[in-house]
Structure 1
Amino acid sequence: MEKKSEAPVFFCIPDITGFTKFITSTKHPDFAHKVISNVLNNVISANILGLSVAEIEGDAVFFYKTGRLPAVNKVAKQCQLIYHTFLDTIAAFEQTDPELYHLYLSKNQLGIKIVIHHGHIMLTKIKGRTKLMGEDVILVHKLLKNSIIDPCYILLTNKYIEKLKDKKVVKTWFNWENVKKGKDKYEHFGLTHYSYISLIDCKSVKMNI
């Protein structure tokens, strides 16, 4: 096992909300598999920040990028592209599988959340595969389980916001007047503060970067 030194990292984790109920309640597992597979494949293809994929974890894509922090406007555009990709993928099933779409998808049974975080990791090679290790890897996984009720939102950790040189750009690109404050307590980490905004409330921005 070969281990490298600690590196700064940007995390972007899109996660499908309503996934467990969708998978366990459907009487059409092939359709459910096709929906989740299409969403995850299309979200991966919507990667405009040059992010690396550490894992595909059932209902989430674990994106990361080491080195320089991406510009806030590009992060906002990436989040919106992921959201619209999700919406378009779900909507496409109304044409290809109308009966099952109306049964399982037409009432917004699925949503998508995106966790944005900045921290540090150890990149480790295990049998030729790059694995991410460190407390920030654990924390972002814990943040996927939070007290936010909204089915479609962006969560911005305080550690990400504090890393930004100009805090005003967050207001510009994430429609700050609609941003809410949140906090959850996690074992070994204690009370973790963050900001979040419904993807519906985000400003529309041009997708060319």
Structure 2
Amino acid sequence: MPPDTRPESGFLVLADISGFTKFVTATEIEHGAEATGVLLADVIAALAPPLEIQELEGDAVFALGPDRAARSDAELIESFGRALVAFRRRQVEISLDESCRCRACAGVLALRLKLIVHHGSFVRQSVAGRSRVAGPDVILAHRLLKNDVEPATYVLFTGPAVQRIGIDPAATGMQPYTGAYAYFGEVDGFVVALDHNEILLGLRPLLGDLALDADPGPHNDLRPVVAA
């Protein structure tokens, strides 16, 4: 087996903007694209490090957290909180910019960010000089973007992700989720459903003492939910 197709294991994370299609088709192309580009750039900066950005997929960021990487699971969870906070802060900043009252800037608050967190196997490939990852777990992570979870701002952890991190779903108030996906059957997971205006209040059981008006830097108080 060629070295670049050796199986690896790790986290497969997707940060996806809900409401993207409606937003870009109903707003000025220049400002709509600029607004979503800035939002995605902030999400990328929040996730990496500790995650490795694999690809920008239109309205989503696809990132990897290989098990062999030098990072803790606590750092991984903290990066999710930073991404959600960065997204929300930038939305507010754009909406309050009185120098432009176009439909894109005025309507940016309607967008939502959701995170899919799966743990599984993947292989790295080089296709036409471009690096990519492939495998059933990569497909499953992307399929999970299609679900009936409400509200629109949430973090969906699959069962394997919860087990790998060591989160106690009952202790953290996570909601069970089961979805049926072609070729995969029923997939179990757990959801942290978030009020868009009080993101970190909902995340506190998982993310420690982050506050929306605090510096979204490293925080380490994850002992209540992350196994030692």
Q: Tell me, yes or no, whether TM beats 0.5.
A: yes
Indicate the structure whose relative CO is greater, using CA pairs within 8 Å and at least 6 residues apart.
Answer: 1
Distance in 2 (CA, whole Å) between partners of 1:58 and 1:21 is 13
Name structure 2 gaps, 5 residues minimum. 211-216, 220-228
Say if 1:157 and 1:89 are closer, same or farther in 2 by CA, change over 3 A. Answer: same
* Amino acid aligned to 1:10: F
Q: Distance in 1 between matches of 2:140 and 2:182?
A: 10
How far apart are residue 98 of structure 1 and its match?
Answer: 4.8
C-alpha RMSD of the superposition:
2.2
Q: Percent identity?
A: 25
Which residue of structure 2 lines up, in the alignment, with residue 87 of structure 1? 88
**1:99 maps to which residue?**
101
Q: Is the 1:183–1:194 Cα contact (8 Å) retained in structure 2? A: yes
The equivalent residue for 1:58 is 58
Q: Name the structure 1 match of 2:183.
A: 188
Q: TM-score, normalised by structure 2?
A: 0.79
CA contact (8 A) 1:77 1:205 kept: no
**How many Å apart are 1:121 and its aligned residue?**
0.3
1:14–1:61: 8 Å Cα contact kept in structure 2? yes
Confirm or deny that 1:137 pairs with 2:138. Answer: yes
1:1-209 alignment, distance < 5 Å: 3-26=4-27, 28-68=28-68, 70-93=71-94, 94-95=96-97, 97-100=99-102, 103-105=106-108, 108-164=109-165, 166-168=166-168, 176-177=172-173, 179-199=174-194, 200=199, 201-203=202-204, 204-206=208-210, 207-209=217-219
Cα displacement (A) at 1:73: 2.5
SS in 1 for 2:23: helix
In structure 2, the CA distance between the partners of 1:83 and 1:65, relative to structure 1 (3 Å rule), is same
Deviation at 1:87, TM superposition (A): 0.8
The runs of at least 4 aligned residues of structure 1 exceeding 6 Å deviation read none
Give yes or no for contact 2:47–2:80 (8 Å, CA) kept in 1: no
Equivalent residues, number: 199
Q: Secondary structure at the match of 2:76?
A: helix
- Aligned mates of 1:37, 1:80 — CA distance in 2: 20
